[in-house]
């Protein structure tokens, strides 16, 4: 497996379950295709209730950790509000947080990146998530858990999220790589219209988030991960701006670049293609 202080194996988590400082969270959301070809977001709460890692609480990304005043899905709330929301869920100084999701690690990586934005670093993603945990016949619980509220101070890193103006300004910049975490079909436009217009942000390259993990949902070996990003010119000295459909899949690329490969200058375009592709003034390419 890839190695990082921010990545924990199922074996290591099994040993740590029940430790006083450990806070485990199921972060799952599901995106399901709607009748118009666009995705419908569905909370993972029902699946959590059917069976989750013992002692894990549920984090509702849509309901509790996104900006309720935004017309766009999953928009990052103001960092002060986000810090309070995390503290209320039990994330705080003196705790060690483990995040996991089902079917794809991108939901766990989204929460990991959000925690990084408020300055909380004692957090790891469960490699392989619930899928690997279940495949190894490890125990599950149907008993809902809530963690006691904690104290968390904002030590913000607002720069790790960027808006459309920063993305637009970076087009053509030699020191910056703009990176698409969607599929190659969506990148070229062959995947059809999902977010308003088909195609990609002008000048961007592509490393699909789905290409970074295997069928067991665990991250691929570090040599494979490094090769994927080296192949598009993601050099350590470059600024990398990652986008996707709604700022979710992009966080897995960002997690790998930052936590696994050691890059220091990586940011995520929060509203991504759900904003960019719906603004005809913003440049896109196909092919």
Tens of pLDDT along 26-54? 999 999 988 877 789 999 999 999 999 99
Task: Using the CB atoms, write b or e for 91-124: b if 16+ within 10 Å.
Answer: bbeebebbbbbbbbbbbbbbbbbbbbbbebebbb
The CATH number assigned to the domain holding 127 equals 3.40.250.10
Examine the domain organization and report whether 189 and 79 are in the same domain: no
Please give the tally of structural domains in the chain: 2
151 and 167 belong to one structural domain: no
Spans in the chain with pLDDT lower than 50: none
Shared-domain flag, residues 90 and 209: no
For residue 15, being part of any structural domain is answered with yes
Q: Are residues 252 and 200 in the same domain?
A: yes
Judgement on whether residues 88 and 27 belong to the same structural domain of the protein: yes
Contact 98, 8 (CB under 8 A): yes
Per-residue pLDDT, 2: 80
Query: Is the whole model's pTM more than 0.85, yes or no?
Result: yes
Q: Domain range spanning residue 97? A: 7-156
- 118 and 165 inside one domain: no
The pLDDT assigned to 285 comes to: 98
127 and 98 assigned to the same domain: yes
Q: Are residues 113 and 206 in the same domain?
A: no
DSSP-derived secondary structure letter, 281: T
Query: What's the confidence (pLDDT) of residue 23?
Result: 99
Would 187 be classed as within a structural domain? yes
Q: For position 225, what pLDDT does the model report?
A: 98
Considering the domain architecture, whether residues 76 and 138 belong to the same structural domain is answered as: yes
Q: Which of 156, 174, 190 is the last residue of a domain?
A: 156
Q: 177 and 130 in one domain? A: no
Check residue 1 and give its pLDDT: 67
Cβ atoms of 125 and 8 within 8 Å: the answer is: yes
Tell me the DSSP string of 177-196.
EEEE-S-HHHHHTTT--SSS
Residue 260: predicted pLDDT: 98
CA distance 104 to 36: 23
Residue tagged 């390259």 (tokens):
205
Question: Are 141 and 199 in the same domain?
Answer: no
Q: With respect to residue 2, please indicate whether it lies within any of the assigned structural domains.
A: no
């Amino acid at each position: 497996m890839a190695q990082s202080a921010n990545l924990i194996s199922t074996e290591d988590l099994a040993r740590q379950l029940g430790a006083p400082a450990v806070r485990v969270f199921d972060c799952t959301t599901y995106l399901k295709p709607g009748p118009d070809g666009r995705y419908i977001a569905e909370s993972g709460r029902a699946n959590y209730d059917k069976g989750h890692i013992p002692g894990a609480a549920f984090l509702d990304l849509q309901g509790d950790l996104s900006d309720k005043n935004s017309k766009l899905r999953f928009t990052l709330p103001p960092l002060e509000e986000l810090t309070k929301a995390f503290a209320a869920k039990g994330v705080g100084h003196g705790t060690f947080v483990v995040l996991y999701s089902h079917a794809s690690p991108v939901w766990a990586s989204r929460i990991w990146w959000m925690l990084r934005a408020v300055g909380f670093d004692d957090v790891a993603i469960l490699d392989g998530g619930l899928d690997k945990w279940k495949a190894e016949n490890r125990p599950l619980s149907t008993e809902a858990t809530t963690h006691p509220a904690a104290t968390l101070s904002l030590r913000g890193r607002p720069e790790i999220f960027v808006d459309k103006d920063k993305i637009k300004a970076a087009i053509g910049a030699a020191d910056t790589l703009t990176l698409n975490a969607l599929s190659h079909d969506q990148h070229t436009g062959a995947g059809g219209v999902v977010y308003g217009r088909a195609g990609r942000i002008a000048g961007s390259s592509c490393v699909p988030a789905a290409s970074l993990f295997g069928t067991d949902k665990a991250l691929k070996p570090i040599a494979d991960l490094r090769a994927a990003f080296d192949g598009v010119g993601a050099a350590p000295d470059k600024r990398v701006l990652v986008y996707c459909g709604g700022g979710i899949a992009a966080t897995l690329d960002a997690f790998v670049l930052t936590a696994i490969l050691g890059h220091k200058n990586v940011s995520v375009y929060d509203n991504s293609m759900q904003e960019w592709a719906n603004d005809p003034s913003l440049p896109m390419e196909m092919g």
